Structure 1
Amino acid sequence: MDDRRRLLVMRHAHAEPGHPGQADRDRALSPFGTSTAEARAGLVAELSPTDVLCSSALRTVQTLEALRLPDGVRVAVEDGIYEASAQTLVSRLATVPRDARTVLVVGHLPTVGHLVEGLLGDPFVHAFQPGAIAVLDVDCAWAEITAACADLTAFHD
C-alpha cells in the first residue's frame, strides 16, 4: 500500500466586504471569488482529496461548493476551523481517518499560512491570495503530524 499522504491547504476565494452589522463569518464570495473557486475545481479534482476540513464561514463553504467535489469525499464543515490557530488545525489533522490519502483544508488567513510554515519548519515565502492552494507531501501519519514533516511540492496562486 502507498504510504504517501498529501495535504492541500487552500485559502477561501475572494469575499465581498462586510456590511454594517454583518458578522464576519457571514460574508459571501464575490462574483470574482466564485469564478476563481470554480476555476480551481479542475486542479482540486486532479489532486483527488479523500477528506476535507472546512471552516463553517459562508465564504469557505461557498468556496468548497464551487470545487464540485465528487460523492464519496468525506467532508467536515466545522465552526472550530473558523478562528483556529495553526496548532489547532494540526491537532485536528491528527484525527482524520488513517486511510485519508489527501486532505484538503479550506480556511482563512493568517491560519493557512501559519499552518504551512509550521509543517515545513521554515518561513513560507508565498502570499496566500484568495483562492491560493499549497500542496504538501506529508511523510508521517496524520496522527503523528508535526513541524518539519512535510515538503511543499506546489503552490497555486
Structure 2
Amino acid sequence: MANENDASVNIGGSVNKSKVRGGKIDTVLGTEPTKNNVSVSIDKDVTDSSKIEAGTIKVSESIDIAKLKAELRAEIQPFVEQLAESAITRNEAVATEAIKEEIKANLTLKQRLLRALKAGGIETLKAIFNHPVVSISVETIKGFIEAS
C-alpha cells in the first residue's frame, strides 16, 4: 500500500466571504506505508470575519537501514555478478554506466536506493555496491539517483 494523504476541508454550514484553508502534510521517506489525514469540519454558518485554517502534520517514518541495505544488496549483487563475468564490464566506467542503465530502467529500485542513501549516507551505497571484481563509482551512482 502506498502512502495516502488527505488534507481536506468539509463544510456543513454556509461560508460567507471567509478564508478557509486546508491542512498540510509533510512526510519523510520511510519503508512503511502511511495514511495521514488533516481536515477542518465546519458544522455551522461562518461569517465574513472568520478565518478557518487546518494545521500541519509532520510524519517521519522509521527506516530499518540494515534491512533495507541487505535487501538492496541482495537485489543488486546478481546484476553485479553478471558484470564481473565480462572483461569489458570490469572497467569502472563501463560497469558504472551499466548500473546506471539498470537503475534508470527500474524506478522502484532507484527510489529504494535514494531512500537508503538518505537514511544511511554514502557508506550504505558503498556496502550495497561492494564487489571484489567490479569497481563501481559510488559517487557517480549517488549523483545519478539524486538527480530528478
Q: Structure 2 length as normaliser, TM-score?
A: 0.27
Higher gyration radius (CA): 2
Taking structure 1 as the reference length, the TM-score comes to 0.26
